[in-house]
Amino acid sequence: MKRLLNNFTSNPKNDVLSGLTVALALVPEAVAFAFVAGIDPLVGLYGAFMMGLVTAIFGGRPGMISGATGAMAVVMVHMIQKGNEVGNGLATPIDNLGLQWLFITLLFVGAIQILAGFFRLGKFVRLIPHPVMMGFVNGLAIVIFLSQLNLFPSIVQEGFHSEQMNWFQHLMNNKEFWVMLSLTGLTMAIMFGLPKLTKKLPAALTAIIVIAAITIYGGESLFGSTRISTVGSFIRDGGGAGLKGSLPHFQGQIFTLFDTLKGHWGLIISTAFLLAAVGLIESLMTLNLVDEITETRGSGNRECVAQGGANILNGLFGGMGGCAMIGQSIINVNAGGRGRLSGIVAAVALLCFVLFGAPLIEQIPIAALVGVMFMVVIGTFAWSSFRILRKIPISDAIVLILVSAITVWQDLAIAVIAGVIISALVFAWKNATMIRARKRTKADGTKVYEIWGPLFFGSTQTFNSKFDPRNDPDSIEIDFIESRVSDHSGIEALRSVTNKYLDLGKTVKLTHLSPECKVLLLKANPKFETIIETSIDDPRYHVVTDLMDAEI
């Protein structure tokens, strides 16, 4: 019971304040990601609310924040656009059919993620190497940074390339740009300096309040007629009508739209798998990162189930779906939010802002929120990667840089998958060259091959080259005391070498094989029973499991 209460909250004040801070930062992000996906801002806000609430209560990591994310928004765009094209081309046109397709897709996304949790696939995130993790956070920090630059007033206008237009002069005369830059810098200065004075006040929330007060009460006297971008103006500039909305309602109409999917189910299913993969990878890697910061351990499988349930709820009640948010999670944790209460407060406060506090939220300067995110970028980026690049193997350094670049160029899922594949190939290559065969001859003339190193698909060719069946004596012993047969390729290589000796009429003994390997060899050729030494077991290696029986 005590552990349950501690997971809910160990410090109510910190959890409430950090939750409010996160809620304020979630508003412009949810709106921005909705615009990226090409849907109504309220859909993004509803998505952030439902994702945040469900995962805060049932997720595998107290203190981790989920919501609408850019990584998933980018994946949704093509399907939503295609759905809108189909809807406009129907005999009776359907407005926003792409959005309805998104709700249907989220049902499949949730089911896939729940199955991943039930089958305990969350543990496979442990297979992600550290260079991939560092590349992931570096790339994500760069993506967050670049996304914030889009919120600054444009300094490139019509006539910029003309001879009369001096770029530097134009930049210096762009007051709106400099006002926003100065407010962003002040936000960052407050967040940097306040914790050095006191840790009782959440730096991000304090900075937002201070900057909002400056622009609301002193804006005209300080900045004159210079336009200051706010959350409200940002939404209206993007075509939205404002933040005022109602509670999410059940989207029962999606179950009447399956006829519109004829010929497009492939797009829906493929998008669902991609969204599920992106969401789980980002969520599980964020979970690992928060684990390191808090020095505690969350449950990846439980997080998979919670993410899936939240996405299904989004599909049923009109949200855009999402996953864990590394930036908001770091804001929450650094502000003291370590319990589930912080995520619950953030989600409920976000909905309350939409329902009741929209006029106030719309007055918050975008500059304050950009400043908060810039500090998140600084805190997220693994600056130590610059220091260690020359100290780690060149293959790891290449993986680190490559994952960072692909995260920025493509997306998180592709970057992580590419990094894991490259790391796995490098590992396999290195291990493939490690296999050795020490040769000696016993007093009775038996030649012994003492195998060192793993025998698997990458080392079978080298393993085969160690033997000389035609020129070896009539009695051979192959000793696996310092080796292990790791996969079916290794089994086949061992069977092939043994058969070469047997075909020449020579005797072979195989010693120190694991019980599993013995079973597989006998299954492949029952005659091996006479050459496997059954009186000696290898007490150290049991790596070829019974699960391979079904594959051979």
Can you give the CATH number for the domain in which 440 is found? Answer: 3.30.750.24
Q: Is 59 helix (H, G, I), strand (E, B) or coil?
A: coil
Helices 97-118 and 300-317: crossing angle, nearest 10°?
160
- Whether 260 and 328 map to the same domain: the answer is yes
β-pairing verdict for 475-485 and 447-455: parallel
Residue 312 located in a structural domain: yes
Backbone angles phi and psi of 302, in degrees to 5: -65, -35
Residue 428 located in a structural domain: no
pLDDT at 201: 75
- Whether 258 and 155 map to the same domain: the answer is yes
Q: What is the pTM of this model?
A: 0.73
- Out of 365, 385, 405, pick the residue that ends a domain: 385
- Whether 9 and 107 map to the same domain: the answer is yes
C-beta of residue 26 within 8 angstroms of C-beta of residue 67 = yes
- Whether 487 and 358 map to the same domain: the answer is no
Domain enclosing residue 517, as ranges? 433-551
- Whether 146 and 237 map to the same domain: the answer is yes
- Out of 369, 385, 401, pick the residue that ends a domain: 385
C-beta of residue 231 within 8 angstroms of C-beta of residue 30 = no
CB neighbour burial string for 256-288, b if at least 16 within 10 angstroms, e if fewer: ebeebbeeeeebbeebbebbbbbbbbbbbbbbb
- Whether 60 and 145 map to the same domain: the answer is yes
Along the 552 residues of the chain, how does pLDDT read in single tens digits?
455 555 788 888 889 988 998 888 788 778 778 877 888 888 999 999 999 999 999 998 899 999 998 778 878 888 999 999 999 888 888 888 999 999 999 999 999 999 999 998 877 777 788 898 888 888 878 887 887 887 787 655 444 444 445 666 666 777 888 888 999 999 999 999 988 888 777 788 888 889 999 988 877 777 777 888 888 887 777 666 667 778 899 999 999 999 888 889 999 998 999 899 889 888 988 898 888 888 888 888 999 999 999 999 999 999 999 999 988 898 888 888 888 999 999 999 999 988 887 787 788 888 888 888 888 888 878 888 888 888 888 999 999 999 999 888 877 778 888 898 999 889 888 888 888 899 999 998 999 999 998 888 889 999 999 999 999 999 999 998 888 888 888 888 988 898 899 899 999 998 888 787 777 777 767 877 888 876 555 444 444 444 434 333
Residue 401 located in a structural domain: no
pLDDT at 110: 96
- Whether 349 and 453 map to the same domain: the answer is no
pLDDT at 551: 38
Whole-number Å distance between alpha carbons of 453 and 388: 29
Residue 393 located in a structural domain: no
Closest CA to 480 of 432, 537, 403, 525: 537
- Whether 122 and 253 map to the same domain: the answer is yes
Residue 7 located in a structural domain: yes
* Helices and strands in the chain, H and E counts: 22, 6
Q: Give CA separation, 32 vs 138, 181, 229, 269, 345, in Å.
A: 22, 19, 14, 26, 22
Q: How many domains does the chain have?
A: 2
Whole-number Å distance between alpha carbons of 466 and 481: 17
pLDDT at 158: 45
pLDDT at 276: 92
- Whether 17 and 94 map to the same domain: the answer is yes
Residue 35 located in a structural domain: yes
- Out of 327, 354, 385, pick the residue that ends a domain: 385
Residue 319 located in a structural domain: yes
159 CB burial (10 A radius; 0-12, 13-18, 19+): exposed
C-beta of residue 65 within 8 angstroms of C-beta of residue 52 = yes
pLDDT at 84: 92
- Whether 299 and 357 map to the same domain: the answer is yes
Residue 226 located in a structural domain: yes
pLDDT at 319: 94
Whole-number Å distance between alpha carbons of 71 and 29: 12
- Whether 244 and 312 map to the same domain: the answer is yes
- Whether 40 and 186 map to the same domain: the answer is yes
pLDDT at 491: 85
